[in-house]
Amino acid sequence: MGSVRAGRAAVSLLLAGALLGACSDEPLPPAPSAPGTGTAAPAPLPAVPTATGEPMEGELGSATGAPAPVWDEESRAAAVATATEVMTAYARPALDPDTWWGEFSRFLSPAAQQDYQWVQPASIAATSVGPGPAALVDESSVYLARVEVPTDAGTYRVLLSRQDGPTPWLVERVEPPEGVV
């Protein structure tokens, strides 16, 4: 029994010594760190555009990277031209699938490429673009455009997107006219 009490007393003394040592006024030396385990600086956030499309200047200074897109005559014309080219490539049901995909897929965003990769061109109702010109019908976001393109099967709606000012418009969705599959 005496040895149990002696053991408990020794443990209590060691514990008390450790606790009292932690109460010292002297700061503890910094723990050594392994090489290459430092904290990485956070990546800068992209600039948030204002209603006019111009990036806001923050407390950290001006934005870096590509300029934010804006709606101007050049970007409107590019959206309409892209949608027309897209529908010209899309509305060719007589082509073999490999040729059709090779010419159509270059206009698609990565997400749209996943969505449209299994489309069989023979299932497309439209065979030609026109009569009449395509029209930009929605420009509520500087990053998205909805363009209506007339075809011999009715008016298709093409949803386009862009990442920033200098990047080209890419197709997100080709929507057939109501009642057309």
User: Does 47 reside within a domain?
Assistant: no
User: Does 137 reside within a domain?
Assistant: yes
pLDDT tens column, 40-54: 555 565 566 666 666
- What residue type is 121 in one-letter code? P
User: Does 28 reside within a domain?
Assistant: no
User: Does 49 reside within a domain?
Assistant: no
Q: 49 and 67 in contact (C-beta within 8 Å)?
A: no
Q: For a pLDDT cut of 70, what percent of the chain falls above it?
A: 65
44-48, 72-76, 106-110: least confidently modelled range: 44-48
| pLDDT at residue 35, as a whole number | 52
For residue 50, the SS3 value is coil
pLDDT tens column, 21-46: 555 555 555 555 545 445 555 556 55
User: Distances from the Cα of 112 to the Cαs of 2, 23, 172, in angstroms?
Assistant: 80, 63, 5
> Which one-letter DSSP state was computed for residue 153?
T
- Is the confidence at residue 16, as pLDDT, over 60? no
Q: Identify the band that residue 167 occupies on the pLDDT scale cut at 50, 70 and 90.
A: very high
User: Does 52 reside within a domain?
Assistant: no
Say how many CA atoms lie within 13 Å of 84 toward its Cβ.
13
Q: Identify the band that residue 65 occupies on the pLDDT scale cut at 50, 70 and 90.
A: confident
Total structural domains within the chain: 1
Q: Which domain holds residue 170?
A: 73-175
Instruction: Record the pTM.
Output: 0.65
User: Does 6 reside within a domain?
Assistant: no
Say how many CA atoms lie within 13 Å of 179 toward its Cβ.
3
Provide the β-strand partners of residue 159.
146, 173
